[in-house]
Amino acid sequence: MAVIKARNVEFEVIRQDVDGAAARYLIQLSFEPMQFQSKEIVSLILCDKTPYITLSNEDGRVQNILQKTGPEGHTTRPYKPPEEVFDKGMTKEEALQAYIDDEDMEFAKGKLKPEDLAWRLKK
């Protein structure tokens, strides 16, 4: 099994409604390498059953299944796109950066005095 770090990844499931197709579904996994602008196909998989697609997250201890689809349909209702499944709001780092950006904006507008900024930075 190859481990690949990519800039973009595409997972495509194609239902083949063509007479004489080798299988009902074609699954294609492709990626854009970090250093090049090209689309590289990693693998093509053929199967006759609807593929299982699982979206999960891992916190270092356990893997939590957030949403799963398969031949039996959706196991989570309502079905949500990946952006909504994984969106948990801002991380601590993003929240801290937003706070710093807000303070910088207030200082730039003249609403925050230099001594107030210095006092806040002492905390």
pLDDT digits (tens, 9 = 90+) for 50-67: 898 888 888 778 888 888
Sequence-distant (≥ 6) Cβ neighbours of residue 112 within 8 angstroms: 103, 106
Across residues 20-41, what is the average pLDDT? Answer: 91
Question: Please, what is the Cα angle at 74 between 72 and 75, to 5 degrees?
Answer: 90
Q: In percent, how much of the chain has pLDDT > 90? A: 24
Amino acid identity of residue 45, one-letter, is I
Of 64, 67, 89, 84, nearest in space to 76 by CA = 67
CA distance linking residue 102 with residue 43, whole number of Å: 46
pLDDT digits (tens, 9 = 90+) for 67-110: 888 877 666 667 777 777 777 666 667 677 777 777 777 766 77
Question: Please, what is the Cα angle at 16 between 14 and 20, to 5 degrees?
Answer: 150
